[in-house]
Structures are given as C-alpha cells and as structure tokens.
Structure 1
Amino acid sequence: MEQLQHFSHEHLLHLVQLQPDHDNENSDKEDEDEDEYKDDSVVEGPHVVKCEMCEEEIYSFHICYYSCKECDYSLHKFCAQLPETQQNHPLHPDHDLTLVRYTEYDVKWKCAICQLEREKELYRCEKCRYYVHVDCATSRKEAFMTSILMPAGWGKTHKNFKDEDHPNLIRCPFPDESVNLLMHHLINKGELVIKRKIDGEMFCHPHPLILFDTLLNVPVPLHDPMKSVELLCNGCVRPITDVPFYKCSQHHCDFVLHEWCTRLPSQIQDYHGHPEHTLVLLPKIPGEFLGVFTCEICLLDCNGFAYGCKHCAYYVDINCGFIPDVITHDAHPNHLLLRFKASPDPNFCKACSRWIDTTGFHCPTCDFYLHTKCALLLPRTIRHKYDKHALNLRYYPAENHSGEYFCEICEKELNPNRWFYHCSMCASSMHTECAPVKHQCERSAYFWLERSIFGYFNVKFGGRYKTEEHPHPVTFVQGTNYDGQCNVCDRELQDMIIGVRETLLSSMRLN
C-alpha cells in the first residue's frame, strides 16, 4: 500500500522507497530515477531514520518504509504491517496478544524478554499481564531460538537430558515446607536401627533427647500454620510436621530435632564453596551471640546447626552444606540447571529479579538464572491462615486476575512478574517473602520487601538465655514496633533480631 492510516499515528503514512547509491557509469540513469521518486522516495546511505515502533534504525537494505510527511514519524514496513492481534505466538501460546501503545495503559511490568521498561509499542495479554516489546517479540534471535530462549512459565522447552542418566536428580520446587534438601540427602531407604533416647550433649544441649515415632504419644502439637502452631527443628530450622522426631526430655524446653538431623555427618570435605579446609558440624557457632551467624551461601541469618571452618570463620547452614551440582525446576522445565558461582558480570534471578552475588543455578543454553535460596527454599505449595485453600507458587501473572495485584499480608502492591503465591479459588496473592509458615514472621513483613525469602527464614525464635550484658535472662525474639529502641545503640528494634526481657524492661540488639 502506498498510503497507510496506522493506529499508532494520527496522520497518514506514505510508503518511501529506498535505493542504494551507486557511483558508476549509469549515474545519468540514477539521476533520472531520483527525479522520478523525489516526492515519494528518499535515496539515503546505510542509516536513514529510526522506527518509532521498535526503536531500531531503518537502513537502506530495508528497501522501503512508511513515513509521515507532516511530522517526524517513521515505521519499518514490517512493523507497520504487524497484526493488532497475535495468536499462538511461540512465546505465549495460551492467550492472544494485542498490540497497544505504552501510554494507553498504566503499565508497571517489565518486558518478559528483555526485562526492561521502555516507552514503546508492545504486545499485551489481556488475561494474565504478559508484556513483550514489539522488537523483542519479533526479533530474529528470538524466532530462531524460540524453543529455548523463553522466560519462566511461557512456552515450552525441549527436554535436553535423559532421566536414567540422573537417577538422584533433585526436582524443584519441593512439594511443601515439610520436604527439603536435607531430607533428600539424609533419609536412607533401607532399614535402620533408631535409638529411642540419645545424649543431648552431642548437640550442645544439656538434657537427653527422646524419640517420638507415633502420633499417639506426641507431647506437643505438630507444626500447623493454619492454627498458628509452630514447631521448628533446632538443627535445620524447618517445620516438624510428622513423626519421627526427637524432643528434649524436659517439658519446659522446646529443643526438638528431625530424626534425620541426628544423622548428619560430622564433617564435609572438598566443599565447593571452601575446598581449602574440611567443614566440621557445629551445633553452635563459637563466639556468636545466641548462635546467630550469616550463611556464606544463601546470605540468610541462621541459628541452627552449621558446617564451618573455624580457621577461616567460614560457616554455612546445614541445608546449604548439601547443595547439589544440578537440579531441575518447574519454572524452566526439561532443562538441567547447573550450580555456578557468581561472576563480575551481573546475572539476575528470574524469581526475584535481584543480582546473584553468591551462588546460584543456571541453564547453560538459556538466559535463565536462579538464586540458590529461590530454587531450594520456595516450596510449590504452602498453607497460610489468611486463606483456607492451599496457595501455589506462581512464576507468571495469574490468568483472568481482576484489578491490581496486592499482597494479602503486607497490603502493598505486588509485582506479578516476580514469583508469588496465589490462590486461584479466592484470587488472593502473597509476596513469597511475606508468606512464610513461621508464626513469628507474620508480624514484620514490610522490612523484607523486594526479596524472595523472608530474612529470618532460617532463625528459630524463642528460648531464654543468660547474657553478660544484663543480669536477667532474656528471650530471643523478632523486634516489633512495640519494642521501642535498643538500650545500647538507640536504634529502632522493629524487624531486628533482639534479646528482650519478658517484662520488656530491657532489650538489646544483636549483630
């Protein structure tokens, strides 16, 4: 068409022919051609103008393009002829994509391909908030690599491995919080003799531990987030939802251990993060107040058991001590994800969009990266007292979701292009960092926004301790806005790990 009324522009667009400029003996013929097309065509060098839709340059080899004679507005012929509706697009085959202008919507998204925000035309899914720039949706690179270059949750990938070659492959996410990496590593499928009673001193505990292997004689309620009941293992700091487990023989003591956490090996050699020295099992980190340390791998605070090198002050929580070399994940199905160590070149996690600055997993053939903690600590399903149904981990916006996305816990806006938990029955959503099953964490979710894992995911609060700083025992808790300021540094105690006297007459901040 010589003329085109395009939806993106108020004026009529005219087709402009492009011809290469040859300096040869036929120059007279070329002059005649130039006179013939001087009203409707332009003879230019390699770069003519920029397309307003894809923001890419228009070159002479494009042969022709559309331009407005009344203002500086141009389009590739290809871009001008893009359909307003894309059906069965390989990047998003489930729903139709509609071509819209950026300014027509209050878009707060990033592009599913390039993860950037640019004010330009884009394809938008009306059902699930899928956005993709025109140039990203039509690029030759994406068209050539559609089988593998896809963000989490969109399209399909071809399987690149055989199951029989990986018999012990860890498949993430784990079904729920009762299943974790340590369980996979330590539970032996054969028959084992289980001791009924073990000495607590081997775990830096002054009392004997008793095994409870049937539900009939369990003296404490098992972990149940729907009833705000919390029972956390002192070793791996994970919920105890079933037998068998060990509990302190003293009724007033809340020290408990998964049965498999009593089988931990005493040391780890050739650990990938610290191959220089052997890592030794440490029930408590020496010199750390109340045993709280920062794991070198996931960078989360922890007061559970650790593997560490005292010589180098290098400590990892016991879950991170058994990170596998390879996993698979539902967010990027059919491709193996290999463990890697962060490099100076920034790689961003698909779950939380944050820079991976320690270790993570990646697909070597795709631009797909995950933090170690995002891959291993976010279960597929959780239960929360704020919703009577189970909530599922979502990797992309929920279909037919009405209105804006808001977190049911913190009541702040939720970015649906980051992973989140969602109930399809109630259309309710939660930040992953706002939805831990630990009861204490429900009070202070605001401080941890923009992360994928709640900051105290690996911390067990409670218990009374004696300290040198105060003559009375203190209770180990998470600070709230009611706790005021620290008596030592005067900083606000909200969202901090603190030791507080039960009468709240004294408190101190922990490093």
Structure 2
Amino acid sequence: MCVLLLFCGFRERESAIEVENIDKANLIHLPMTGDSISAIDLFLKQISMGDKKREAELNHFSHYHPLILFDAQGDNNLCYENELFFLNELNNDKICNACVQKISAPFYSCGLCDFFLHKWCAELPNKLEHPCHPHQLILLKKPPKPIGLFYCNGCGYYCNGFAFQGIRNRCMNYSDYYPDVKCAFLPKAIIHKVHEHPLFLKKDCITAGCAACDRCIGMFAFGCDICNFNLHYTCARLPDTIKHRYDEHPFTLIYAPIKNGLDEYMCEFCEEGIDPKWWFYHCIDCDQSACAKCICTERKEVQNIKWGSTYNFDSHPHRLIYVPTTDDGCDYCQENFYAPFPLTRQIGFKCEQCNIMVHPFCPYR
C-alpha cells in the first residue's frame, strides 16, 4: 500500500510538472463551436511540416499516375487554369485516399482516377514517434495485407486509407499495430472546456473510464492524471452544437452532471432513454434530445472507408470495389453481411464484371 501511494504521489507530481511546462496557448481548444468545422481537420493540418516547396506535379508512391496540385491561392503556374472553378464545384463526397476525410485545398488530384491527397497527407513522414506506442512507427508504402483493410488501434474502426505500423523486429507484440493517419497525428495534448487542466493523449481510458460516455472500449483517449479525468478522443471532439435536418434549431451538447434537469430524456432517433449521467445533445426550443452516437454520424462504423476504391485479389481475376453492403448475402459463403465478421458488416467488395458481392475476407479465405 505504501509503495502504491508513493507511486501515485510521484505520478501526480510528474503530471503536474508536465502540465506546468506545456504551452497552453498553442493547444487546440475543444469543443469546436459547431459541426461546420471539424476538429479532425485541425488535427490533420498539424501534419504540415512547414513551407515546403509546392510541386505542380507529384509522383507519389501510392498512385500509378502523376498527381496535379490544386491550391486555393490560384497560382496558375502551379495548377490548371480552371482551378478556382474546380474548387468551387468540388463535390463534398471527394475523399482523401490517405486520411479518408473530405478533401479540401491544397490537395493533389489524378485527372484519370478518383484519387485525391491533401497536400499534408502527400508529405507524410516515413517514420513517426507516437505517445501511445513504445517504438517508432513507419508509414506503409503498400496497403496492409491481405485485403488492404486494417483495424485502426486508435479509433477501433476498419480503414482502407494509409496506415502506420510498428517496426516488426522491435515490436514483437505490435506487428499488427496499425493507427490510421488521423489517429497517428492526434495532438499530444488539448484543452477542453469541461476540465481545468490540459488533457494528454493516452493509449486508452478503459481502467478509469470516460467522463462523457459509458463505453468500455480500447481507443485513444485524452486524460488528466492529476484528476483521473479521461475522455475518449471521439468524445473529446464532439462539437458544441450540431445542426440536423430533422430540426430547424441547433442541438447543444449537454455535459453531465445536469443541474435542475429533467428526470428523463428520450433520444428522438433510437427512441431509447438517455442516461443524464453522460453527455448528449438537446434542443431547448423544441425540447428534443439525441444520443451523441445517433446525431453525430450515420454508419459510423464505416467512416474510415473510401467507397469506390479498388483492390486486387489473387483468388479473383478482376478488381473488386469497396461498396456499402446490401441485404443480399455474400456470393462466396452465402451468409449475410452481419456474419461471420460483425466488425465489417457494412463493408463489402463488388465485382462489376461478375456481378457478385462478397465479405471483405472471403476472397482471401
């Protein structure tokens, strides 16, 4: 007991020194005021390594064709003459092949394929030190085997974007450690309005629990060791307000504990009761509530998947395309898409030449 108390006291003093030395002015402050600005976008822009020379044309290891730079500055010596028109007409469904987030300028694009890279994603470092991993991570130059689909250790979802990996000869227990781009470049610390101290990036908060939700899952978190306060990183980046098509007013994020609140709240989406011990959204004007998981993202399990991407399998003669699953079963194993791989139940591969749909892992089995 004495040893434990000494250790805890040492850890608190160490954390206090770390908090004292950090430059709070340069930290990202959360939550964002609204959902029009994404915290993930701010995290990803930190990847930029300074004022690197802008290349008008780039040959990148991830693509067969040269990539052309599109920059909001409109420098026609670097970009197409119709660049500004292209930027204005750019559809919201254009997705970066590296971070699998919506594309925004500056970015590189292939004129022949549906291939996009944010400029900062095209300049990812080959090696990376990460606070949640004991050894150096390396940027994979090829998609992870066997299907180009990997499980991200940061957010707990499958992804088909770029991945970092633990070096095998140094990480015997981490050879399958794959953070995606956005999780690899989460800030080491943030400021959140619900807590007085900076919150530092950590591997998870399973032991202490998350202050915002009741999920016990292994994903990256932000925490304060002095106060034993933790937030899943997905909870930490919830916006302060959200606009939804079902309500003319914005929903406001409600933090627990609620003072002088109602005894019962019901989610308008899943129609289940909301436990006021955890964070949720509420519209004061309409007296409507919503679970954070319901209102924030539809098909959240596939937020890291770029649909339309292709992959080659040795067991199939044609390229297969990533597509959302349907109610039909897999043409390989004849089972529905909720079995035998529940974590990838919304992800399928389609062959347009053979007109078949299959589980992600079935072509490899």
Calculate the TM-score normalised by the size of structure 2: 0.72
User: Which residue pairs with 2:131 in the alignment?
Assistant: 272
Q: Work out whether residues 284 and 303 of structure 1, in 8 Å CA contact, stay in contact via their aligned partners in 2.
A: no
Match for residue 29 of structure 2 among 171, 183, 190: 171
> 2:88 & 2:291 partners in 1: Cα distance?
30
Rounded Cα–Cα distance in structure 1 between residues aligned with 2:118 and 2:143: 20
Matches within 5 A, 1:213-232: 213-214=71-72, 216-218=84-86, 221-222=89-90, 229-232=92-95
Q: Which runs of 5+ in 2 are unaligned?
A: 1-17, 73-82, 169-174, 339-344
**Alignment counterpart, residue 489 of structure 1, candidates 306, 330, 333:** 333
Q: 1:463 aligns with which of 300, 309, 320?
A: 309
Paired amino acid for 2:56? R
**Partner amino acid for 1:293?**
F
Take 1:399 and 1:220, find their aligned partners in 2: how far apart are those partners? Answer: 47
Letter in 2 for 1:476: Y
In 1, the alpha carbon distance for the partners of 2:352 and 2:244 equals: 28
Unaligned residue ranges in structure 1 (runs of 5+): 1-159, 224-228, 446-453
SS in 2 for 1:210: strand
Question: How far, CA to CA, are the matches of 1:354 and 1:470 in structure 2?
Answer: 39
- Alignment partner for residue 307 of structure 1, among 144, 155, 164? 164
Residue 302 of structure 2 aligns to a residue in which SS? Answer: coil
Aligned equivalent of 2:235, options 350, 353, 374: 374
Counterpart of 1:260 in structure 2 is 120
Aligned 1:219-368 pairs, distance under 5 A = 221-222=89-90, 229-240=92-103, 242-250=104-112, 253-269=113-129, 271-276=130-135, 278-282=136-140, 284-289=142-147, 291-309=148-166, 311=168, 312-330=175-193, 332-342=194-204, 346-368=207-229
Cα distance in 2, alignment partners of residues 196 and 213 from structure 1: 10
The aligned amino acid for 2:149 is V
Instruction: Give me the whole-angstrom Cα distance separating, in 2, the residues matched to 1:222 and 1:419.
Output: 35
Describe the shift of the 1:507–1:233 C-alpha distance in structure 2 as closer, same or farther (beyond 3 A): same
Contact kept in structure 1, 2:265 and 2:275, CA below 8 Å: no
Distance 1:282 1:191 in 2: 24
State the Cα distance separating 1:367 from its structure 2 match.
4.4
Rounded Cα–Cα distance in structure 2 between residues aligned with 1:399 and 1:462: 49
Check conservation: 1:340, 1:361, Cα contact below 8 A. yes
| Distance in 1 separating the partners of 2:249 and 2:141 | 37
Q: What residue identity is the alignment partner of 2:322?
A: F
- Gap change, CA 1:379 and 1:207, over 3 Å in 2: farther
Counterpart contact for 1:338–1:361, Cα < 8 Å? yes
How far, CA to CA, are the matches of 2:308 and 2:43 in structure 1?
A: 23
Q: 1:427: how far off?
A: 4.3
8 Å CA contact 1:296–1:314 kept in 2: the answer is yes
In the TM superposition, residue 307 of structure 1 has moved relative to its aligned partner by: 1.3
Task: Return the letter of the residue paired with 1:362.
Answer: G
Task: Give the aligned partner of residue 30 of structure 1.
Answer: none
Structure 2 CA distance for aligned equivalents of residues 455 and 244 of structure 1? 28
Q: Distance in 1 between matches of 2:141 and 2:242?
A: 28
What does the per-residue CA deviation read over 1:55-78, in whole Å, with 9 as the maximum and x for residues that have no partner? Answer: xxxxxxxxxxxxxxxxxxxxxxxx
Give the secondary-structure state (helix, strand or coil) at the position aligned to 1:260: helix
Matched AA of 1:265: P
- Superposition pairs of residues 4-403 of structure 1, within 5 angstroms: 165-175=23-33, 176=35, 177-180=37-40, 182-187=43-48, 191-200=51-60, 202=61, 204-214=62-72, 216-218=84-86, 221-222=89-90, 229-240=92-103, 242-250=104-112, 253-269=113-129, 271-276=130-135, 278-282=136-140, 284-289=142-147, 291-309=148-166, 311=168, 312-330=175-193, 332-342=194-204, 346-376=207-237, 378-396=238-256
State the alpha-carbon separation in 2 of the partners of residues 506 and 264 from structure 1: 36
Cα deviation, residue 287, structure 1: 1.3
Letter of the 2:351 partner, please give it: R
d(CA) in 2 for partners of 1:208 and 1:255? 11
How far off its partner does 1:301 sit? 1.2
Distance 1:416 1:488 in 2: 45
Q: How many residues align?
A: 318
- Indicate if the aligned counterparts of 2:204 and 2:232 stay in contact, CA closer than 8 A: no
Q: TM-score, normalised by structure 1?
A: 0.54
Q: How does 1:402-417 map to 2 (within 5 A)?
A: 404-408=265-269, 410-417=270-277
Cα distance change, pair 341–210 in 1 and its aligned pair in 2 (3 A): closer
Is the contact made by 2:266 and 2:289 (CA closer than 8 Å) also made in structure 1?
yes
Deviation at 1:317, TM superposition (A): 1.0
Identity %: 35
1:500 to 342, 350, 363: 350
Q: How many angstroms apart in 1 are the aligned matches of 2:281 and 2:98?
A: 27
Offset of residue 183 of structure 1:
3.0
How many Å separate the matches in 2 of 1:385 and 1:163? 44
d(CA) in 2 for partners of 1:173, 1:405: 24
- Displacement after TM superposition at 1:283 (Å): 5.1
Which structure has the larger Rg over C-alpha atoms?
1
Task: Using the TM superposition, give the Cα deviation of residue 293 of structure 1 relative to its aligned residue in structure 2, in angstroms.
Answer: 0.5
Higher relative contact order (CA 8 A, sep 6+): 2
Q: Does the 8 Å CA contact 2:312/2:318 hold for their aligned counterparts?
A: yes
AA matched with 2:115: F
Task: Kindly state the Cα deviation for residue 392 of structure 1 after the two structures are TM-superposed.
Answer: 4.0
Deviations 1:120-143, CA, capped at 9 Å, x for gaps: xxxxxxxxxxxxxxxxxxxxxxxx
- Residues 237 and 414 from structure 1, CA distance in 2 versus in 1: closer, same or farther, beyond 3 angstroms? farther
Give the 3 Å change call, closer, same or farther, for CA 510–358 of structure 1 in structure 2: same
